[in-house]
Amino acid sequence: MGGAFYSISMLPPVSQKITLFNPVVYLISGFRWSFYGISDVNVLVSVSMIVVFLAICLVTIW
């Protein structure tokens, strides 16, 4: 449920909420915005969430 081949808006409402916990959604949304100028998630939210997930990973590894 990363939204690579489809928009997350095509999912049922419950699945849309669950999908937002997947960091891949934000990466794909950023790539989609950079290529096509449209995205499922706001670009600033995508960048912020990528930084948050990166920080969580770094703290976990540390």
Q: What is the pLDDT of residues 18-44, one digit of tens each?
A: 888 888 888 888 888 888 888 888 889
How many domains in the chain?
Answer: 1
Task: Specify the pLDDT at position 16.
Answer: 86
pLDDT band at 2 (very low <50, low <70, confident <90, very high): low
Would you say residue 1 lies in a domain?
no
Q: pTM to 2 decimals?
A: 0.76
Q: What is the CA radius of gyration of the chain?
A: 12
Residue 24 within a domain: yes
Euclidean distance between CA atoms 8 and 61, whole angstroms:
30
Range of the domain at 22: 8-61
- Provide, rounded to the nearest whole percent, the portion of the chain with pLDDT above 90: 29
| Cβ pair 23, 53 in contact under 8 A | yes
Identify whether 37 is part of a domain: yes
C-alpha closest to that of 28 among 58, 1, 55, 57? 1
The CB-side HSE value for 7 (13 A sphere, CA atoms) comes to: 7
Residues 14-20 have a mean pLDDT of 88
What pLDDT, on a 0 to 100 scale, did the predictor assign at position 20?
A: 86
Phi, psi dihedral angles at 21 (to 5 degrees): -90, 0
